[in-house]
Amino acid sequence: MEEHGRNEVSLPAPTAAPMLMALGITLGFAGLVTSVTVSAVGVIIAVAGAVSWFTEVLPVEREETLTVVPESIVVVQAKLPVAYLEVGEKLNRAVLPLEIYPYSAGIKGGIAGGAVMALLAIVQGLIFHHSPWYTINILAASTMPSLAQASTAALSAFILEAFVVAVIIHAIASLLVGLLYGVMLPMFPRYPAFWAAIVAPLLWTGLLWATLDVINPVLDQRIEWRWFILCQIAFGAVAGYVVDRTEKVRTLQHLPFAVRTGIEARFETDDDQKGRV
């Protein structure tokens, strides 16, 4: 920055060249997972941006002169009292849940939702394939190469190893999603049933529908999406209901920062002891 006078100052001239170069580099890397054409266009834009940027500063930096208009500023020293905001007052930290569900609520919700989902999967197998084991074997086939190319008749029979594998996969997934519901639902205090039974299952189903042909082509060829969506909605509705009906516990957000960090001690009342997770 160069001063020409009391009311003038020289600053580097504005330019869009850095932004143009950044865009070109981004497109260049994006083409590695999309198309060579995208990378080629990105390289051209990046080179153009770099050349434009260099000409702005070499051999002489381009500048522009601005006129500074002085303002009369009066500094008044005043002694004002400091008012401390309470938690939740005037949107202060309002995005943090002051009450959450215990982890046990998510576990119970996952078990209940998983049981209903498993029951619907058995009903699906009975209706479409006249066997309660078909859907169970399809789930196990996602990790058992021996069942990947099995016929419908073979998948309709009871296979002990496939049954054990399917139960383990379903139990782990149900518990993890149940815990996720227990953590996420307090962040959506309005209409928890809508988020649990509609939004989350549809988002999860859409993600699987778009990626399942790459993740698990065997399951993608045999899955029946209408029943899959129904099972996901049933799981979300039951798990969300169980979690939402559980009594919440208070977090430490209502305590001063010094107390939460252990710098200061605080006498615990019966309510505080009850609210600890």
Domain membership of residue 35 (yes or no) is yes
pLDDT value at residue 277: 41
CA distances from 67 to 9, 15, 70, 135, 153 (A): 7, 20, 10, 76, 85
In a domain? residue 274: no
In a domain, 177, yes or no: yes
Are 172 and 222 part of one and the same domain?
Answer: yes
Query: In this structure, is residue 267 part of a structural domain?
Result: no
Query: Six-digit token pair at 160?
Result: 């002990």
List, in sequence order, every residue forming a beta bridge with 63; answer none if it has no partner.
12
Give pLDDT, residue 145.
Answer: 78
Q: What is the pLDDT of residue 138?
A: 85
**Residue 91 DSSP code:** G
pLDDT at 214: 76
For residue 204, count other CB atoms closer than 10 A to its CB: 15
| Cα dist from 187 to 181, 190, 220, 234, 272, whole Å | 10, 9, 33, 21, 22
In a domain, 87, yes or no: no
* Three-state DSSP state, 142: coil
Closest by CA to 134, choosing from 209, 62, 223, is 223
Phi-psi region of 88 (alpha: psi -120 to 50; beta: other; left: phi over 0): left
- pLDDT tens series, the chain, 277 aa: 445 556 777 777 778 888 889 999 998 888 887 788 888 888 999 999 888 888 887 777 887 777 776 666 666 666 666 665 555 555 554 456 667 788 888 899 999 999 999 999 899 889 888 888 988 888 888 788 788 778 888 888 898 998 999 999 999 989 998 888 888 887 776 777 788 888 888 888 888 888 877 777 767 777 888 888 888 899 988 988 888 888 888 776 656 666 666 666 655 554 554 444 4
**Predicted pLDDT of residue 181:** 86
- Domain contains 88: no
Q: Domain check: are 158 and 218 in the same one?
A: yes
Q: Note whether residue 264 is domain-resident.
A: no
Same domain, 62 and 195: no
Query: Could you tell me if 238 and 112 lie in one domain?
Result: yes
Residue 63 included in any domain: yes
Answer yes or no: pTM beyond 0.75.
no
CA distance 172 to 176: 6
User: Do 143 and 214 fall within a single domain?
Assistant: yes
244 and 112 within one domain: yes
- Residue 146 sits in which domain range? 99-250
Residues 132, 49 share a domain: no
Looking at the structure of the chain, the number of domains it has is 2
